[in-house]
């Protein structure tokens, strides 16, 4: 491809709303242009990368027996009502005004509908159906460029099985395919188990990339590979170091003391001698939750610990009726509430907490001696430096971007839409489904997040829009031009993907800056001085290393560098 012909509008600056490196560089390298908030056009250079990523995805999906579909994005609303998801998606769902249609944010419903009409017998199962298609979600905060768009490309696949064992297999096939896809895309990723939330499944896993631009927080152990979303991450908790002697309970007047920091300051004790009390409502029943010092309640862990049901923090106006005191003076002594305490408090003594009387606290609380109606669970957030549950190495807490998600859906959608099959005995069962998604644009953005410097993008050799960037330093020089034309021809003949900067009216410095910005892994520079010695220069974009090569040996050298046969 000649740079004089391909439309790559590079720029020196990026618009002010582009703050993260991938957004800035995709704009500057002429890959994308915004149309409206969260809506982007992919220009030819950007779209080349989309096609490369899709090729890898298709290869791996086909390898696990996936069959490619193309489902409509415009869906009758009725079908989404059958599964209750018009309500579940709420404002995220785009509605089409003049008819009862919605723009699909995902495709479980349509797959279940096709299965309901056309999958009849156990002989038709299992199936893996996938597509790569545009999804629409009216994200409340579209940002970070294509990482959170309101229209984006997703590879979504769906498995149809006769039973849960079948689903387990389809799920594992996907997990393995996902690892291959992200590895082939040269991404450093990690996997976390996740709670499947609104999708209504029973098992799910997310594939994440560590990035400052991420909106998820994860806990990672660099030693053994343990990783989890902070919502459910566990750490090795060290047992509480009890004082040798337990004091007796004592009520203390603590005027205007509300927070743990104020309490510790007032009594001149460490915050780890204070127990923070929070009231939650679990299925209409109030419970008292105790945390060590300033630890926050991890509500997801609390929800899991309590098993089924709904949970919410009590409203401030409910507190005094439930406990006799306002926030800041609530505590575990003289209460009838069920107490749920964080595991870090097990065995604690000489603790201070609220007295259930405004402006009073109680000291000398011995958790073993004084609190009977109490259960201990791990309900705190893991913090940087806590020790890994598996190997006790220090954990890191990092921001991360979700690249892909695999869910065991079960029968929610097949039951709502009547997707059933007959078994060998003629008995009818709902099809057991799985659902699996990958964000195509996110792969590209994450690749840039992980591979760039102050000059621009640095595509890995294995996945780049082009492999070689051929630069004629001065195209008005006949010898340079004819050498470049010859090399360009030879590279194309040898199946090397080459972008050829044949522009006449652009200075050498400008060409070099553009080359570093758009980041093709190998640059071949044809200049007057080296040409006189019958040589050209190869520059590695990643390291900046340069070497001179005999023109006659160039193609072989490039093939070796690019691991081509």
The least distance separating ligand ATP from the CB of residue 53, rounded to whole angstroms, comes to 12
Q: For residue 352, which of 247, 206, 436 has the smallest C-alpha distance? A: 247
Whether the CA torsion 400, 404, 408, 414 is positive or negative: it is positive
Compute the half-sphere exposure of residue 103: CA atoms within 13 Å on the CB side of its CA. Answer: 17
Residue whose token pair is 């960037």: 469
Smallest gap from residue 442 Cβ to ligand ATP (A): 4
**Residue 156 C-beta: closest distance to ligand ATP, Å:** 7
Distance of CA 98 to the CA centre of its chain: 35
177 versus 438: smaller Cβ distance to ligand ATP: 438
Burial class (CB in 10 A: 0-12, 13-18, 19+), 324: middle
Q: Which one, 441 or 516, has the nearer CB to ligand ATP?
A: 441
CB of 550 to ligand ATP, least distance (A): 46
CB-nearer residue toward ligand ATP: 157 or 353:
157
- Closest to ligand ATP by CB, 378 or 441: 441
Residue (of 370, 383, 435) closest to 158 by Cα position = 435
Nearest approach in angstroms of CB 181 to ligand ATP is: 12
Closer by beta carbon to ligand ATP, 142 or else 328: 142
Closest residue to ligand ATP using C-beta atoms = 439
Decide whether 22 or 254 has the Cβ nearer to ligand ATP: 22
| Integer Cα distance of 99 and 75 in angstroms | 10
- Taking alpha carbons only, the member of 407, 421, 404 closest to residue 112 is 421
Q: Residue 397: beta bridge partners?
A: 219
Contact, 408 vs 174, CB < 8 A? Answer: no
User: Which run of H or of E encompasses 207?
Assistant: strand 203-210
CB of 214 to ligand ATP, least distance (A): 9
In angstroms, what is the minimal distance from the CB of 265 to ligand ATP?
39
Q: What distance in Å separates the CA atoms of residue 143 and residue 210, rounded to the nearest whole number?
A: 17
- For strands 94-96 and 67-68, give the pairing: unpaired
Considering the complex, what minimum distance in angstroms separates the CB of residue 22 from ligand ATP? 12
* Smallest distance, ligand ATP to C-beta of residue 105, A: 8
Q: What's the per-residue H, E or C state across 252-301?
A: EECCCCCCHHHHHHHHCCCHHHEEEEEEEEECCEEEEEEEECCCCECHHH
- Tell me how far apart the alpha carbons of residues 380 and 342 are, in angstroms, rounded to a whole number: 7
Please, are residues 204 and 408 in contact by the beta-carbon 8 Å criterion?
Answer: yes
Nearest to 498 by CA among 511, 488, 508, 507: 488
> Considering beta carbons, is residue 295 or 402 the nearer one to ligand ATP?
402
CB of 233 to ligand ATP, least distance (A): 17
Q: Which residues bind ligand ATP (CB under 6 A)?
A: 106, 137, 139, 148-149, 152, 154, 402-405, 437-439, 441-442
**Chain-centre distance of CA 464, in angstroms?**
22
Nearer to ligand ATP, 122 or 207 (CB): 207
Smaller CB distance to ligand ATP: residue 233 or 558? 233
User: Tokens 């859906």 sit at which residue?
Assistant: 409
Count how many residues are written for the chain: 565
Tell me if 492 sits within 8 A of 543, measured CB to CB.
no
Question: In terms of CB distance, is 157 or 483 closer to ligand ATP?
Answer: 157
């Amino acid at each position: 491809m000649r740079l004089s012909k391909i439309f790559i509008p590079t720029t020196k600056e990026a618009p002010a709303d582009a703050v993260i490196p991938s957004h800035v560089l995709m704009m500057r390298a002429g890959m994308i242009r915004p149309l409206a908030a969260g809506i982007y056009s992919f220009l030819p250079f950007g779209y080349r990368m989309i096609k490369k990523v899709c090729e890898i995805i298709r290869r791996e999906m086909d390898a696990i027996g996936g069959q490619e579909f193309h489902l409509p994005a415009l869906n009758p609303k009725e079908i989404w009502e059958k599964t209750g998801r018009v309500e579940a998606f709420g404002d995220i769902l785009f509605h089409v005004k003049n008819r009862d249609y919605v723009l699909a944010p995902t495709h479980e419903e349509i797959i279940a509908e096709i299965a309901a009409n056309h999958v009849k017998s156990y002989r038709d199962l299992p199936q893996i159906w996938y597509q790569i298609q545009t999804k629409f979600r009216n994200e409340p905060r579209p940002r970070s460029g294509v990482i959170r768009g309101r229209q984006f490309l997703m590879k979504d696949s769906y498995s149809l099985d006769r039973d849960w064992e079948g689903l387990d297999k389809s799920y594992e096939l996907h997990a393995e395919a996902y690892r291959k896809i992200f590895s082939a895309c040269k991404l450093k990723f990690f996997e976390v188990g996740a709670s499947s939330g609104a999708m209504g499944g029973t098992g799910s896993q997310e594939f994440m990339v560590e990035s400052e631009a991420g909106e998820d927080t994860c806990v990672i152990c660099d030693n053994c590979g343990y990783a989890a979303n902070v919502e459910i991450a566990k750490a090795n908790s060290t047992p509480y170091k009890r004082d040798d002697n337990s004091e007796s309970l004592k009520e203390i007047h603590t005027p205007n003391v509300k927070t743990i920091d104020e309490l510790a300051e007032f009594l001149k004790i460490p915050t780890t001698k204070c127990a923070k009390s929070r009231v939650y409502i679990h299925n209409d029943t109030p419970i008292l939750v105790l945390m060590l010092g300033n630890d926050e309640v991890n509500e997801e862990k609390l929800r899991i610990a309590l098993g089924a049901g709904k949970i919410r923090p009590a409203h401030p106006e409910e507190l005094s009726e439930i406990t006799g005191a306002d926030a800041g003076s609530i505590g575990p002594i003289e209460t009838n509430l069920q107490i749920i305490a964080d595991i870090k408090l097990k065995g604690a003594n000489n603790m201070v907490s609220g007295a259930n009387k405004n402006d009073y606290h109680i000291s000398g609380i011995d958790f073993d001696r004084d609190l009977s109606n109490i259960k201990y669970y791990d309900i705190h957030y893991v913090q940087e430096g806590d020790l890994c549950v598996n190997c006790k190495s220090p954990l890191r807490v990092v921001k991360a971007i979700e690249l892909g998600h695999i869910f065991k859906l079960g029968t929610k959608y097949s039951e709502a839409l009547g997707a059933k099959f007959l078994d060998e005995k003629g008995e009818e069962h709902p099809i057991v489904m799985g659902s699996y998604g990958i964000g195509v644009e996110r792969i590209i953005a994450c690749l840039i997040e992980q591979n760039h410097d102050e000059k621009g993008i640095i595509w890995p050799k294995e996945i780049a829009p082009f492999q070689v960037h051929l630069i004629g330093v001065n195209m008005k020089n006949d010898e340079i031009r004819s050498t470049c034309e010859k090399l360009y021809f030879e590279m194309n003949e040898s199946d090397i993907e080459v972008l050829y900067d044949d522009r006449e009216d652009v200075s050498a410095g400008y060409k070099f800056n553009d080359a570093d910005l758009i980041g093709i892994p190998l640059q071949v520079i044809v200049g007057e001085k080296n040409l006189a010695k019958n040589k050209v220069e190869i520059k590695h974009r990643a390291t900046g290393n340069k070497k001179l090569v005999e023109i006659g040996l160039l193609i072989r050298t490039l093939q070796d560098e690019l691991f081509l046969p």
